[in-house]
Structure formats: structure tokens, C-alpha cells
Amino acid sequence: MNKNLIPIGFALASLFTGCAMGRAENVATLKEAFSKDFPIGVAVNQRQFMGEDTNGVALITAQFNSLAPENVLKWEAVHPRRGTNGYNFAPGDAYVAFGEKNKMLIVGHTLAWHSQTPRWVFQDDNGRALSGTNAADRELLLARLHEHIQTVVGRYKGRIQIWDVVNEALNDSSNINDTNMLRQSSPWVRILGVEFIVKAFEWAHEADPKAILRYNDYSVENEPKRKRLIALIKMLQAKNVPVMVIGSQTHANLSWPSAELEDAALTDIAKLGLPIHITELDVNGAQGGQRNQSADVAQNSQAAGGKLAESADEKLSKQYASLFAAFHKHRSEIKLVTFWGVTDADSWRRNGKPLLFDGNWQPKPAFSAVIEQAK
């Protein structure tokens, strides 16, 4: 049996080949279907990379050829306490070992983010908030960022191939006339301005010159944020900052982004001349998520609220087909597509049943809708 064509249950076989039980080896997998286009990644949780969720592991190794760590390499997880002894590397080490064992392309997520960063990072040793107008405070925060990046990227040098260096730093406003490029409420922005972005990329590059360095954000399909993204990346490029890939999270809902918007956004972003990665793909089917296009963690309860939208399963298939048609069309620019979770039960938006596999690890109709787009 071709090892890329792995049975994940006979239900899968009958879903889109209609073939009899026992013929599952003829079934394509996501990674196989898109092997000429881009690797297919998935964000994994600790129960998966520790091997406890054995059904999850079976799906991950059968269907995907790249991994992202859903949470364990965020600052609060990997570096919860001050100082050089304040690290907790055990989960990150296990994550990377799991990826290596399964010969997968391994992503690191994320080095500098306003969220999931412990409070001490933005305070002095007496608990006083650091200030952007105080040169010593700025120095202190830059020194912490440097030490963190050197330590974390350095530890996995040559083993984590791709890093989300800066996450969600753009101003989230939907007002196109809002001229602030960056997220003003971020302590990174408040204290250091754009300098934290410049330094984070330079230091990540210094720590692992071969690593592929991404800027990662959500809702960059929408024009106001896309304009800010393009302005930011052009500014970084003008300073020779080693930003190498644009990460578009693509936390979608059943109707957004439309086929036209996705195509236009990819066309526009590709003009920057950098490869694009789809980094956190899911499609929210919850009623509450149909109005909201933000993937801000703080707004998640709202976005995942309410029952499933009417005919959610059918609309999910349509939306996934539409997105993958755009990815396939732009396959010369898109170098990786990563789903944000394995099954609906694992998802941060589990209420919205946003993924291709249900809580029983079975493929949903959207799975075959995606595979179809590879042809």
C-alpha cells in the first residue's frame, strides 16, 4: 500500500469514492491530494503530540505533512517566569520530537504577540508598568525580547523550519480612514512602536539564519487591514528586515471571505513578492460568528456563540470549496496551508464546528469538497 494513502476508517472511503468496505487504501488524503501544490499543516495540542489522543495522532499522520503548535510555544507557555530559569521547554521539546518522528515540516508559533504574554514582560522588577517615554524601560523590554528569541529560536535551530515571528500587530479597525498602522492597545506597540517588529525579525534571523520568518495576522482579506499589512511589509522591506513570508490566518465564516474577496486579497498580497502561507484555517459555523470577522482571542466567546447556522454543513462545504479553489488558483504563491485544529472537538471554536473532521474523527462532507479542488 502506498504509505501516502492511508485508511482513516472505512466511512472515509465510502464518502467520496463510494467504494466497498476494505478499499480504503484507494482514498486520497489531504497531503496526497495537494502534493503538487503545497504541504497541508495542522495545529496540534498537547494530548496529540504526547500521543494520548491516539485517534487524533492517526488522523494527523495520515492526512497532514506539516505541524503548528496550537499553544505550547507561546510566551506564557514557554517562558512563564522572569529570567533565564523561567522557561518551560518540556512541551515544546515533545512537540518538535513528534514532528521529527513523523518527518513533518515544523512551524513555531509565536515569538512576539500582545496576547498570551505574561504581565511581568511589560513591568519592571517592582511591578511598575514599563513606559514608552522612558529610555531605560525601552532598553529593558528590548533586552527581554532579544533574550527570549535567542533562547527559544536557538534551542530549536535547524529543527523548527518556520517561525511566526510577529503575530497580530496590525490595527484591527475596520475604518479605512484610521491611519494607525499598528494595534495601539498592544504593550509592544505602546512601549516600542514598530521597533519591536524590526528587532524581532532581526534577532530571529540571527538565532537561526536558515529559518523561514513569517509575519502572521488575521482578517487581512479586508481592505483596511490589508492596506496596513502592505504598508508594514513595504516599510520592513525598505529597511532590509528579514521578513520572508506573509501568514494569512484565514479564520473564516460561512460567507466571509467571499470567493471574490479571497482571490482579490491573495492577488494583492502576492504583489509584495513574498510567499503566502495560510496559517490558521477554519470556517466558523456558529450563528454568532456570521457577523463577526475578527479572530481576536478576546472576542471569541461572541464569535462562537449561538447555535449552528442553518444548513451549516452544506454551507461549510461550499465555503471550503471556494477557499481551496482560490488557494489552488494561487498555488504558485501559496507555500503552505495549515488548519487550526484536527477535529471540531479540538477547535477553539468548537461550537462552530469549523473543521473537516467531526468529534469522532470522521471526515465531514467538507473534507471531500476540499479534496475535489485539488483536481
Active site residues: 168, 280
How many alpha carbons lie under 13 Å from residue 113 in its C-beta half-sphere? 25
Minimum CB separation of residue 276 from ligand 9MR in Å reads 16
Minimum CB separation of residue 166 from ligand 9MR in Å reads 12
Buried-exposed string 211-242: b where 16+ CB fall within 10 A, e elsewhere: bbbbbbbbbbbbebbbebbbebbeebeeeebb
Q: Provide the total of helices (H) and of strands (E) in the chain, helices listed first.
A: 14, 9
Looking at beta carbons only, is 59 or 355 nearer to ligand 9MR?
355
Minimum CB separation of residue 253 from ligand 9MR in Å reads 14
Residue 84 grid coordinates: 533565564
Residues 6+ apart with CB under 8 A from 136: none
> What are the φ and ψ backbone dihedral angles of 112, each rounded to 5 degrees?
-130, 115
Residues 6+ apart with CB under 8 A from 375: none
CA distance 162 to 213: 6
Looking at beta carbons only, is 115 or 123 nearer to ligand 9MR?
115
Looking at beta carbons only, is 74 or 315 nearer to ligand 9MR?
74
Looking at beta carbons only, is 38 or 339 nearer to ligand 9MR?
339
Contacts to ligand 9MR by CB under 6 A: 70-71, 74, 116, 167, 249, 280, 295, 297, 300, 348
Q: Is residue 49 a contact partner of residue 95, using CB atoms and an 8 Å limit?
A: yes
Residue 247 grid coordinates: 501568514
| E strand spans, 196-269 | 212-217, 245-248, 251-253
Looking at beta carbons only, is 37 or 172 nearer to ligand 9MR?
172
Minimum CB separation of residue 4 from ligand 9MR in Å reads 28
Q: Is residue 346 a contact partner of residue 57, using CB atoms and an 8 Å limit?
A: no
Looking at beta carbons only, is 248 or 300 nearer to ligand 9MR?
300
Residue 21 grid coordinates: 468496505
At residue 260's C-alpha, the angle toward residues 259 and 265, to 5°, is: 100
Grid look-up 522591506 returns: 237
Minimum CB separation of residue 297 from ligand 9MR in Å reads 4
CA distance 137 to 130: 5
Of 44, 135, 35, the C-alpha closest to 98 is 44
CA distance 153 to 292: 34
Minimum CB separation of residue 153 from ligand 9MR in Å reads 17
Minimum CB separation of residue 70 from ligand 9MR in Å reads 5
Minimum CB separation of residue 78 from ligand 9MR in Å reads 12
What DSSP element (H or E) covers 339? Answer: strand 334-339
Looking at beta carbons only, is 70 or 262 nearer to ligand 9MR?
70
Looking at beta carbons only, is 27 or 355 nearer to ligand 9MR?
355
Q: Concatenated DSSP letters for 17-45? A: T-PPTT-GGG---HHHHTTTT--EEEEE-
Closest residue to ligand 9MR, based on beta-carbon distance: 348
CA distances from 70 to 49, 87, 201, 290 (A): 11, 18, 21, 24
